[in-house]
Chains A and B, each alone.
Chain A
Amino acid sequence: MGRNVAIISVGYNGRFISKRPDINIPELIQPAVNNALGKTKLKPEHIDAYVVGNMHTFEGVNQPHLWASDHFNGSGKPVMRIATGGTTGASVYQAAYYHVASGMYDVVMAIGWEKQDEGDSQVGLMGILLPEAFSLFHFGPDTSSDRGIAGLGGGGSTGGAAFQAMSYLTRANAGIEHIDRVAALMRSNAAKNPYAHLQQPGCTEADIAGTPIISYPLRFGHTCPTSCGAIAMILVSEEKAKKFGLTDRVAWVKGLGSGTSDATTGNLIEGQITDPAEQQICKITAKKVYSMAGIKDPRKDIQVAEVYSGFSHQDLMWPERLGLFEEGMAPKILDKGGYAIDGELPINPSGGVTSTNAIGASAMVRVGEAALQVMGLAEGGHQVKRKIENAVAHGWGGLFQFVTITVLGKTPVKK
């Protein structure tokens, strides 16, 4: 199991926004690193090793860690880069955890970023939004067909996410209005988070319902923006946390894990090959993580969740698959106000990924936001008021198949 590890600091570059033509990638990372260090008494020389990551090829710059290392003081120290699509940020953080838990290093910094204005991330994202990739993985390429089974991509912006959304709505007996409602909540939560990208104070269901449908049941208002931004976190061993006098305002890593399934459906572990709304791998991974964290009933023991939802229907689907609600109950709990920052189980007080998506940072932002909630340091009115003992952070990536889950808490697991 390794040593106990604490997150002692979470730093941002500033507010996530669409374009930063004034700076380059190292300049985007550096303020986040300085911000994370500045919140502690630590100096760059206290950091033993770095784990960094962003989504490969989405920016115009290949291998950006090669020239960014100097800018986060990585010279002369171990630097490791990790890329696992949407889960990159969480994989980076998990690797940083392993660095410390293993006993190899005492103080490790994890950095995740994305500077999407330098490349054409839409090209990469179309693989998710359009069914071409879906059908390519399923059948292989066939350029001869027009509107046959392998030629679907040409005609319209349909996609895997829309299939998943449709399937989810049928399973949960819910309607497109539930997706509108959760999307509106996320955008208004974002208005309370000074770092969020799409801040829409008081955003209503009608505001979202007024946006055009891209691929039924997904509207423009249900999709995430492309953001530029960076996040840095500092992870330390229990002994160092005590030595630094940092045991009050920290988030302890109680349990973590990741899982991988089939690229096209996300379900090939047990039972039938089924639709992408099943997400069996998420359920299996969640169980393992809860057991590691000593959580018996996630519905009682977890007080806040940050889930990775590139599309708004996932804000309904993931909490169910994470065992926080019974399957099919999320729309009903949303309707009763349970999702809100002052609700029964606040989901994404930060505004989530549909409000801010700097891809390589996003999954780490989920962990960082969960850590800030546990520490009681979430700024600008998105701090959950009631007592938080445990928080869960979730990452989703690849096409449908990568999942990363972490439970953070106020008190470490006894070893």
Chain B
Amino acid sequence: MTQETRIIESTWDLTAYQFKIEADALSLFVKGLKDRKILGRKCGTCGTVYVPGPTYCRKCLIDIDQVVEVSQEGRLDAFTVSLADVRGKAVDNPFISCTVKLDGSDSFLMGVLEGWTDWRSVKEGMRVKVVWKDVTQGALADLSHFQLI
């Protein structure tokens, strides 16, 4: 073969697809956010607390419906510092996204970390607290960010 492969332009209409998510699981969490509460579900068999809570225990594979509120303070688990945008261009204001394990929860939440001046001084295991938006309306965005204590 000497000729290059021919390139054909085309489009792909994604609106023809429907995506379903486990609405019951997320809606408990989202409704709680309006009242500034972080709600999850606890498995009565193994005691695992999931936040946000699925309607079944992923370890025991049984339905769970015990709602629990967890603390708004927790431990900084893993994090990463965004020093560049998606095109690889350096950003003026780096930001940290992190995973946090709130006290009383066995799963982690993701969020933006604030309350630091030098990102090099941020370490795993630091204590953080939840910061809410001024007005909470029952949406994931109500949980503004995590703040270093």
* Contacts of A1-60 to chain B: CB distance below 8 A: 21-24, 27
Q: Specify which chain A residues have a CB less than 8 angstroms from the CB of B116 in the assembled complex.
A: none
Closest to A269 in B: B59
Question: Does A174 make an interface contact (CB < 8 A)?
Answer: no
Q: Is the CB of A158 within 8 A of B88?
A: no
CA gap between A230 and B14 in the complex, in Å: 31
Chain B residues 10-37 with CB under 8 Å of chain A are 19, 21-23, 26, 29
Instruction: Give the docked Cα–Cα distance between A142 and B30 (Å).
Output: 11
B83 and A216 within 8 A (CB): yes
Interface check B84, CB cutoff 8 A: yes
Q: A139-B140, A144-B141 are in contact. Are A163 and B79 (CB under 8 A)?
A: yes
As a 0/1 sequence over residues 133 to 148 of chain B, the CB contacts with chain A under 8 angstroms (1 = contact) are 1000001111111000
**Are A216's CB and B81's CB within 8 A?**
yes
Binary per-residue interface labels of chain A (128-148) against chain B in the complex, 1 for a CB within 8 Å, 0 otherwise: 001100110011111011111
Q: Are B141 and A163 in contact (CB under 8 A)?
A: no
Measured in the bound complex, the distance between the Cα atoms of B140 and A151 in whole Å is: 9
The reply to whether B82 and A139 form a contact with Cβ atoms under 8 Å apart is no
Out of A144, A164, A166, A217, which one reaches B139, CB within 8 Å?
A: A144
Determine if A131 and B86 form an interchain contact, defined as CB atoms under 8 angstroms apart.
no
Given contacts A213-B84, A214-B84, A215-B83, contact A135 B5 (CB under 8 A): no
Are A142's CB and B86's CB within 8 A?
no
Q: In the bound complex, do residue B80 and residue A163 qualify as a contact, i.e. CB atoms below 8 Å apart?
A: yes
Q: Which listed residue, A147, A157, A164, touches B78 by the CB 8 Å rule? A: A164
Q: In the docked arrangement, what's the CA distance between A146 and B141, Å? A: 7
Shortest beta-carbon distance from A83 to chain B in Å: 19
Give residues of chain A (291-340) contacting chain B, Cβ–Cβ below 8 Å.
none
Interface string of A354-374 (1 = CB under 8 A from B): 000000000000000000000
Bound complex: CA of A268 vs CA of B112, how far in Å?
25
| Number of chain A residues close to chain B: CB under 8 A | 53
By the criterion CB–CB under 8 Å, are B88 and A139 in contact?
Answer: no
Number of interface residues of B (CB under 8 A): 51
For A272, what are the chain B residues with a Cβ–Cβ distance below 8 Å? 106
Task: Answer whether A166 and B124 are a contact pair too, CB < 8 Å, given A149-B109, A157-B86.
Answer: yes
Contact A215 B107 (CB under 8 A): no
Docked complex Cα distance between A183 and B64 (Å) = 45
B79–A147 touching, CB < 8 Å: no
* Bound form: Cα–Cα A23–B2 in Å: 9
In the complex, B72 has a CB within 8 A of chain A: no
B82 touches A155 (CB 8 A): yes
B104 CB-CB contact with A under 8 Å: no
Give the residue of A118, A216, A275 whose beta carbon is less than 8 angstroms from that of B119.
A216
With a cutoff of 8 Å between Cβ atoms, the chain A residues found around residue B95 in the complex are 147, 155-156
A130 in contact with B22 given A216-B81, A275-B77 (CB within 8 Å): no
A interface, CB within 8 angstroms of B: 21-24, 27, 118, 126, 130-131, 134-135, 138-142, 144-152, 155-159, 162-167, 170, 212-218, 220, 262, 265, 268, 272-273, 275-277
28 CB contacts below 8 A, A to B, read A22-B3, A131-B97, A131-B110, A148-B111, A148-B112, A148-B141, A148-B143, A149-B110, A149-B141, A149-B143, A151-B140, A152-B110, A156-B83, A156-B85, A158-B80, A163-B80, A166-B79, A167-B77, A212-B88, A213-B83, A214-B84, A215-B81, A216-B83, A218-B80, A220-B88, A268-B58, A273-B48, A277-B78
Besides the known contacts A22-B3, A149-B111, 19 further A-B residue pairs in the complex with CB atoms under 8 A apart: A27-B1, A126-B86, A139-B26, A141-B21, A148-B142, A150-B141, A151-B140, A157-B85, A162-B80, A170-B78, A170-B123, A214-B84, A215-B80, A215-B83, A215-B84, A262-B58, A268-B59, A273-B106, A275-B78
